[in-house]
Amino acid sequence: MVIERAGVVGSGLMGSGIAEVLARAGLDVVVRDISEQAVDAGRARIEKSLARGVERGKLSEDERDAAVARLHYTVDMKDFADRQLIIEAASENEDIKKAIFAELDAIVTAEDAILASNTSSMPIIRFAQSTSRADRVLGIHFFNPATVQPLVELVVSELTDPQVVDTVESFVTDVLGKVAIRATDRPGFVVNALLIPFLFSAIRMIEAGHATKEDVDTGMVNGCAHPMGPIALADRVGLDTCLFVGQSIYEETGDPAAKPPVLLSRMVDAGMLGVKSGRGFYDYSAK
């Protein structure tokens, strides 16, 4: 199966990044969001990113223009009817995602079309069961920012057809130029199942007063050769995202290492979400 026509549901931070990756790889891409305002914001986000790529010498002006021409924006789910691959990148809300998959199942005409979710922690099987083609549903989990991060997790449910996984893996590696790993449909998949307990351990350390955030980060960067300390990384991921993923893992597994620290919950309640809000454990307002 040669994938040439793709769709992305959602044009937020992750959705716009995924759409840009697809367009730059030569695909015809339909991007859908819930309102014209959201669509306009997504379009502006993508075009700003492409312009930045030209400024940094990573894209030529012709490559940017070609990518822009391949992107089509809509508020109508019916515009996905002829898509071969659709990646859902909507809000991390299970009911919303289930409804999207059920609607896509009714709209997409090709029997061999592949439906995927970019969720960072939710069970893929629950979305698959909202369709009549559970064997053609899987997780395609990009990392933020999708245009830069090389890794994509392919999450395989109990019902995913192995040939579908092979097709998507070839697409991700050969067409998109990403690094693909496979994961079973377990909480947190591979990366977040390892990462979230690590980040939470670091947060608990500063919560208990054992070390400052600066010393925790400096220790891991200089003592373990990490490119970024865990506290700065949590800010970069988004503290709300860390909280959500941790809650999902903890609720399913009961693993105490994945139970969100109280400090993290309070910071999210205060709107201190990290880089994206301008303030988390560190202050980014002046940057």
State percent of the chain over pLDDT 90.
Answer: 96
Q: Hunting for tokens 């988390």 — which residue is that?
A: 280
Architecture of domain 5-184: 3-Layer(aba) Sandwich (3.40)
Catalytic residue (one of 11, 88, 141, 248): 141
- From CA 269, how far away is CA 38, in angstroms rounded? 24
Q: Is the dihedral of CA 248, 255, 201, 207 positive or negative?
A: positive
| 36 tagged catalytic | no
Model confidence at 287, pLDDT cuts 50, 70, 90, reads low
| 120 tagged catalytic | yes
Dig out the tokens for 277 from the structure. 């809000």
Task: Please list, residue by residue across 211-224, b when 16 or more beta carbons sit within 10 angstroms of its beta carbon and e when fewer do.
Answer: eebeebbebbeeee
Catalytic residue (one of 20, 130, 153, 277): 153
Catalytic residue (one of 49, 157, 192, 248): 192
- pLDDT score recorded for residue 192: 95
Q: Hunting for tokens 């890794």 — which residue is that?
A: 151
Catalytic residue (one of 16, 49, 120, 277): 120
The CB density around residue 37, as the number of other CB atoms within 10 Å, is 10
Q: Model's pTM, two decimal places? A: 0.92
| 248 tagged catalytic | no
Span 278-284, average pLDDT: 96
Domain ranges of the chain: 5-184, 191-277
- pLDDT score recorded for residue 246: 96
Q: Is the dihedral of CA 94, 99, 104, 106 positive or negative?
A: positive
- The CATH code belonging to domain 191-277 is 1.10.1040.10
Model confidence at 286, pLDDT cuts 50, 70, 90, reads confident
Cα-based distances in Å from 18 to 154, 192, 204, 213, 263:
15, 19, 33, 32, 32
| 222 tagged catalytic | no
pLDDT one-digit tens code per residue, 212-266: 999 999 999 999 999 999 999 999 999 999 999 999 999 999 999 999 999 999 9
The C-alpha angle 10, 83, 90, rounded to 5 degrees, equals: 15
